[in-house]
């Protein structure tokens, strides 16, 4: 019954690899033949379908990126806030430790230098007015 054409659209699976290969070859030839017969009509439909598929794919990609960004923002914002707080806390600890070490070596802190600068400026103004 291999040569008999039927209107049944179900694919019959071959039992042997040779028969499977023969059926694949025949399917390829059939596709080539139909493309030659109806190629002009199908080409226009293929182009339209390709354009439609491209537009749908681009829209899907834009939506997927927007969803991913929204999820990433929602997921990472609490983590980032916690990391920033921890960083600030660690920075204060480090500043305090560095300040103690500098103080041991007799190096004044920024605040001490600013206080001294204000005091010198005040004394300079007093000296100028005393003349």
Kindly write down the DSSP assignment for every residue of 18-46, as one continuous string: HHHHHHHHHHHHHHHHHHHHHHHHHHHHH
Where in the chain are the domains? 17-130
Q: Tell me which residue of 22, 45, 24, 23 sits closest to 35, measured CA to CA.
A: 45
Sequence-distant (≥ 6) Cβ neighbours of residue 116 within 8 angstroms: 108
> What pLDDT is recorded for position 118?
93
CB 109 within 8 A of CB 103: yes
Confidence of residue 76 (pLDDT cuts 50, 70, 90): low
Mean pLDDT within 7-13: 53
What is the mean pLDDT of the segment spanning 43-56? 81
Question: How large is the average pLDDT for residues 100-105?
Answer: 76
Residue 128, helix vs strand vs coil: helix
Q: Can you give the pLDDT at residue 122?
A: 92
Q: What is the pTM of this model?
A: 0.33
């Amino acid at each position: 019954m291999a040569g008999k054409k039927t209107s049944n659209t179900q694919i019959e699976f071959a039992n042997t690899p040779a028969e499977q290969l023969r059926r694949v070859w025949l399917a390829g030839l059939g596709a080539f033949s139909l493309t030659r017969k109806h190629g002009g009509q199908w080409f226009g439909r293929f182009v339209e379908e390709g354009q439609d598929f491209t537009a749908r794919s681009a829209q899907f990609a834009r939506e997927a990126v927007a969803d991913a960004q929204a999820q990433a923002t929602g997921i990472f914002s609490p983590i980032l806030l916690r990391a920033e707080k921890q960083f600030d806390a660690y920075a204060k600890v480090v500043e305090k430790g560095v300040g103690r070490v500098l103080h041991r070596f007799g190096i004044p802190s920024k605040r001490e230098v600013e206080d001294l600068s204000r005091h010198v400026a005040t004394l300079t103004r007093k000296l100028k007015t005393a003349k």
